A and B are shown apart, each in its own frame.
Chain A
Amino acid sequence: MEGKPEDDGGDLTRRGFLGGTGAALVVAGVPTLGGVGVEEEGVSTQLLEAVPQTAIRVTVNGTEHRVEVEDRWTLNEFLRDHIGLTGSKIGCNRGECGACTVLLDGEPVYSCSTLAVWADGREIVTVEGLERGGDVSPLQQAFMDHNAAQCGFCTPGQLMTATALLDRIPQPTTGEVREAMVGNLCRCSNYNAIVEAVLAAAATSGSGGAQ
């Protein structure tokens, strides 16, 4: 190793736990949200900005929504907290687990890692939109039959990714299923059963049946 200046790495001046949420070193600043500011002791007397909002039009599971969203809402937040579709889960909120996967114009995306405002004019399908006329899709049926859900928390995401796969490749190989679904973790580690279910759905119908 080269002769580098030694740094013992201690004596941190960190922004705190999780980057910024520790407050030991937070300097006074103007809070940037919360509607109209009020004058209170110890708080900035500046008027607080309103939280920026934008009107968007999105189609979710076939239903059109014209709504005002806060610019900072993730797509997942919009779906879960504002139109009541809690099927899509938050496992990490940072694109490292896949539980929040939804279809955006038919393609799987992490709804935690994109903003609702960016979905303006686009079509979204969530796990709640997979049934047709009260019947589960062949893929959902295969998930039931093959025990593809253990705790079930990753299941909505797995279903959405697999739905997109079967729409694109109706008869995938095992390898294609694994590659397509690599972005959906399962801590129950029920990977074998999930892949078997996807292959079984392909064998029975050749289609996941979302679109």
Chain B
Amino acid sequence: MSSPQTSQQVGPMDTVGHDVPRIDAYERVTGRATYTGDVRLPGMLYARVLRSPHPHARIRSIDTSRAEALPGVRAVVTHETHELIYSSGSIAGGRQYSDAAKDITRNVRYMFDNPVRFVGQPVAAVAAVNRHVAEEALQLIEIDYEELPFVIDPEEALEPGAPPIWPEGNLALDFRNEPRPSGGTSGDPEAGFAAADQVFEDRYTTAFVQDAQMEPRSALAQWEGDKVTIYTPTQGISNCRHDNARDLGLEDHQVQIICKYMGGGFGDKNGSYYFDLIAASLAKEADAPVLLELTRKDDWLGTHGRWHTVQDLKVGVAQDGTVTAIGLRAYSGMGPYLRRSGGISGIDAYACLNVERVIYPVHTNRMVSGNFRAPSDPQGYFAIQSMMDDIAYKVGMDPVDFALKNMRRPTEEVEFTNYFLEECIAQGRELFDWESRWRPEPGSDPGPIKRGAGMAFMMFRSGVGPSSAILRVNADERYTLFVGVTDIGPGAKTTMAMIAAEELGVPLSQVEVVWGDTDRCPYSVGESGSRTTTQTGYAVVQAALDLKGQIAEKGMPRGDDVLIASATPTPSTQGKRRMCFGAHFVEVEADVQLGHVRITKYVAVHESGRILNPLPARDQIRGAAIQGIGQALHEDLLYDPRNGHPLTAGYYGARHVTHMDVPEIEVTFIQTDDGFGPYGAKTVGEAGIILGPAAVANAIFNTIGVRMKDLPITRERILEALA
């Protein structure tokens, strides 16, 4: 599999490529699937977290005596009792999973911080015999706060005189601990703008979007001697173990992480969370297992979501519609801790090389931002592809032709392992019937009910890299696959078993998977970056090859003997860019009198290499596209800037889409094999969410004739724009 082949359209293999229901579907439909909050241990206590009611305040004193005296309370912890650094909480430059990066981080986040820097930040926790007593005890903790000036808006946060959230100021520190924007210049933007016949400038903004997985986070900690077992919903048991061990002052082997079923993970869970540390601290204090449950509001405000952005774009265009230069100056709202990069993607999907990007990741006293499915993409693609769509109309071009003219293609300098963007756009255009649905004159339907269409296109990294797998076979020809994955929803466990079955040439029913437990599984990169299939899947192929070799050499094991193979490959694309591609075409119907928008057709065409299990892959794209629609039309976290309080936390507040809000998403995969990954498989999970906001916004423009530049595009904003 390692030697690159000519890219080609591919079909099903023996197991891979067929629709396979999940191997654990039965557990999922019968209530037998055990999530973290379902685990019950003898003598288990329940814990609750007290959180800051202030956006920025110093704790002068904290008195827990009344809480401790409440019958049924077994432990109370605060910043005074437990000064633990939460090392995943703030990371220099927003870099992930690196001891070095964590070591140099200057703006450290503690499990309980003082001062507190956002409404919802943990300040204390209680373990008690039941959750009602724990809740009651929280109310008996008395805290004297000194309220500090705060800032909610990222642009205001960078103005002179803004309340400093950190001594260094409010521009987040980069990986050298220097307050500098990210971005940089390529080509010659100045010359590019000079060469343009027209230069367009505009501002686009995107709102904060909570990951909002259905399972409120929880952690269950149990100590045995100097070893702690933590059940926790994590996307990466290996990273979670290492983070927690480091923060608790333990060796990795002293921490066991168990994550079996998990109620969704849409990013930023590939590591530890502060509530793991709180549960472990309480369990130690109380000398009993402790289940810490976050309420929905705790989870909404106390975790993270997609960073909100303000993006000022400048684009130069030549007479013939060729983009000659692109400028981006942007602010990403990160909250008071730099958990992730705050980057903004999308410009790289264009061929224009004269680009200047200045992106300020800014600290504010809002809740913390982090990774959500394609962390920097939907917000970036919304802005740049709205801008380009707008320019297409202004220079008199069909937006699809403008895309085909200006999108990135392989060059001699930048090679791709394969390239299918043009095919995605061409197929989408045809399947959607663009010519009949798109209005050459935007907003030209007579109304009040109007229709129109829009599109967007993308490419997204689909790298290869290290991971591990272990395979064992016994005399009954039962194969056991050990992989450190946690099945967060896409069906990784099933995919891994399918890859093993395919490579071993055995039926899927002969393969059992052991997963989600650091004491039983090898290292895994974790379920983030859409790389379980490409990386861990590739390790499964290598382990299977090894095991097949052993069987060929030694024969099948007999009696109690087993054969075991393990693999930790580190594949490389030898300098080529490996990307997946996609194009989304959307038709909307808008009632311009009532400001209502309904999506009437949604076509998503994706090239993600070979699709190993089409059934769940289809639903990765459908679900992601619908999440993108939610970001386009609904989701936000409104703050009152006068007092720094969030007002719309929760599914009701954020107006999450329901069964009645969503269209049918029509998914087509162009299947290929570039010779990398397991059987040519590329990224699927994140790719589907990138284009929703841009494609929906462009369709709305085509329908109503007014460009909506701020997400979410609510009824209120449409009515205001049309007023």
Contact = CB atoms under 8 A, between A and B. Distances in A.
- The answer to whether A and B touch directly, with their CB atoms under 8 angstroms apart, is yes
Interface of A: 8-12, 14, 16-18, 20-24, 26, 31-38, 40-43, 48, 51, 70, 72, 80, 84-94, 96-97, 99, 126-128, 130-131, 136, 140, 143-145, 147-156, 159, 177-179, 181-195
Interface in B257-301: 261-266, 295-298
Nearest to A99: B214
A111 to B, nearest CB: 13
Contact of A151 (B141, B214, B295): B214
A178 B659 contact: yes
Closest 10 CB pairs of A and B: A87-B31, A153-B263, A9-B642, A189-B626, A151-B489, A22-B53, A152-B28, A144-B25, A34-B71, A86-B38
B31 A128 contact: yes
B619 interface: yes
Nearest to B37: A90
Nearest to A186: B214
Contacts of B662: 189, 191-192
Contacts of A88: 31
Contacts of A84: 40
Contacts, number: 245
A87 B489 CA distance: 17
Given A17-B120, A152-B261, A193-B622, A72 B215 contact: no
Given A92-B650, A94-B296, A41 B69 contact: yes
Contact of A149 (B22, B50, B70, B642): B22
10 contacts: A21-B50, A35-B71, A86-B34, A91-B214, A91-B296, A136-B29, A152-B263, A183-B658, A185-B658, A192-B665
Contact of B29 (A10, A85, A97, A144): A144
Interface residues of B, number: 87
B506 interface: no
B651 A97 contact: yes
Contact of A189 (B71, B652, B657): B657
Interface of B: 21-22, 25-35, 37-38, 40, 48, 50-54, 65-66, 69-72, 119-120, 132-133, 135-136, 138-145, 212-216, 261-266, 295-298, 488-491, 615-616, 618-619, 622-627, 630, 640, 642-643, 645, 650-652, 656-660, 662, 664-665
Contact of A91 (B144, B216, B623): B216
A150 B21 contact: no
Nearest to A42: B65
B69 A40 contact: yes
A127 B120 CA distance: 34
A187 to B, nearest CB: 5
Contacts of B40: 84, 86
Contacts of A34: 70-72, 133, 136
B50 A97 contact: no
B455 to A, nearest CB: 20
B31 A18 contact: no
Contacts of A145: 21
Contacts of B297: 18
A96 B51 contact: no
B145 A42 contact: no
Nearest to B622: A192
A21 B125 CA distance: 11
Nearest to A73: B132
A70 B133 CA distance: 13
Contacts of B659: 177-179, 181-182, 184, 191, 194-195
B51 A17 contact: yes
Nearest to B72: A34
Given A35-B72, A94-B296, A181-B659, A187 B29 contact: no
B34 A20 contact: no
Given A23-B142, A34-B136, 19 more contacts: A17-B119, A23-B143, A24-B54, A37-B71, A41-B69, A86-B37, A87-B31, A87-B32, A91-B214, A97-B651, A127-B30, A128-B30, A143-B28, A147-B619, A150-B619, A153-B214, A183-B658, A191-B662, A193-B619
